[in-house]
Amino acid sequence: MNYQFAIKDPLSLRLYSPVQATGFRFAELAPGEQSVLTGLNKDFNHLLFVLEGELQISCNEFIDYRILTGQFVLIPIAADVVSRVIESPCRILLFSFEKFFHISEHEYIRELGTIVTTTAHTFIPGVVRPPLDMFLNHLNMYFKLGMNKPLMHEIKHIELSAIFRAFYSKEEVAQTFYPMIGRYLNFRIDVLRNYRKVSHIDELADLFGLEKRTFGRQFKEEFNSSPYRWILNQKAKHIQFCLAETGRSLDEIRREYGFKFPGHFTRFCREQFNVTPTKLARSLRTAKKMANSIQK
């Protein structure tokens, strides 16, 4: 369901299907359950609210972040993510979407982009405060009353966007939506959706129907990096996640990410992390064990 921000069918009685890629979805997670998050559609962004309980989440390079009751984080397009319940019962709300703010809000988006260029992404959870808490309670009530229809999802998307604009500072909004804020929103979304599906930068340029030099220039304007360097950095994030979270062997990970020889993989890790793959995996997994033992 792609939101158009113009309600063309206000009397629609079509039921909203939970298999739709976008919209709001409530869930209650059992201890240790991960399926709701690991099965997320990677072609969309997902705003995760913890309504009750506590989750431990790893998302790309951000490993073992604790999300408490009344906090929220963004899981961006193409992200690797796993979670586990730390405190149950654990109730969550997921809002899946392509664009959060409408393109007509270009001046506001431009201001957010200025903030993003001068700060780093930290994955620090946002905090639910009035009137966002009332919005979430009302939405939960609507679901219980059976108001789970496309029109409701569209209206509530607009309302949620307005709440963030009005009651959260630009700095808070920029930090929450950091990965999806840019100058050319459609271009950014298409890059994020497709960069893991191609094996070479030329293929990515072809998908956009652009000559390689033109694509590189527009890419640099949007991401402040060359396509080659940016993709290497993204690959490093996904490798870090795999080493910390999946328990897979170094050889499996090396082959998945296109390193033909172990030496090439070792050189990449030295360049990106200043350590060998073996030492990186050991340090990440040791840190996880320590974090988990503290929580117990």
CATH code of the domain covering residue 205: 1.10.10.60
Same domain, 206 and 233: yes
Whether residues 224 and 259 fall in one domain: yes
Please say whether the beta carbons of 49 and 139 come within 8 A.
Answer: no
User: Does residue 11 form part of some domain?
Assistant: no
User: Is 6 inside any structural domain?
Assistant: no
Residues 108 and 234 grouped into a single domain: no
| Distance, C-alpha 100 to centroid of its chain | 12
Indicate whether this model's pTM tops 0.75: yes
Residue of 54, 166, 85, 75 lying closest to 123 (CA atoms): 75
One domain, residues 207 and 281: yes
238 is written with which tokens?
């996904």
- What pLDDT does residue 192 have? 94
CA 260 distance to own-chain centroid? 29
What is the number of domains present in the chain? 2
Range(s) of the domain holding residue 120: 23-180
Residues 196 and 290 in one domain: yes
Exposed (0-12), middle (13-18) or buried (19+): which is 260, by Cβ within 10 Å?
exposed
Task: Report in angstroms the alpha-carbon separations of 169 from 134, 135, 243.
Answer: 19, 18, 36
Domain boundary among 133, 163, 180: 180
Claim to verify: residue 36 and residue 169 sit in the same structural domain: yes
Query: At residue 94, what is the residue type?
Result: L
Give 115's Cβ-side CA count (13 Å radius).
20
Residues 48, 160: one domain?
yes
**Are 90 and 66 in the same domain?**
yes
* 139 shares its domain with 163: yes
**Whether residues 166 and 228 fall in one domain:** no
**C-alpha dihedral (76, 81, 86, 87), degrees to nearest 10:** 40
User: Is residue 1 a part of any domain in this protein?
Assistant: no
Secondary structure element (H or E) that encloses residue 224, with its range? none
Q: Are residues 127 and 147 in the same domain?
A: yes
Identify whether residues 161 and 193 lie together within a single domain.
no
* Cα–Cα distance list, 214 to 64, 196, 200, 219, 226 (Å): 39, 21, 16, 8, 12
What average pLDDT values come out for the chain (296 residues) when binned by 10 residues? 34 41 90 74 96 94 94 96 90 95 86 93 96 97 92 95 97 96 90 90 91 94 93 94 89 92 95 95 83 60
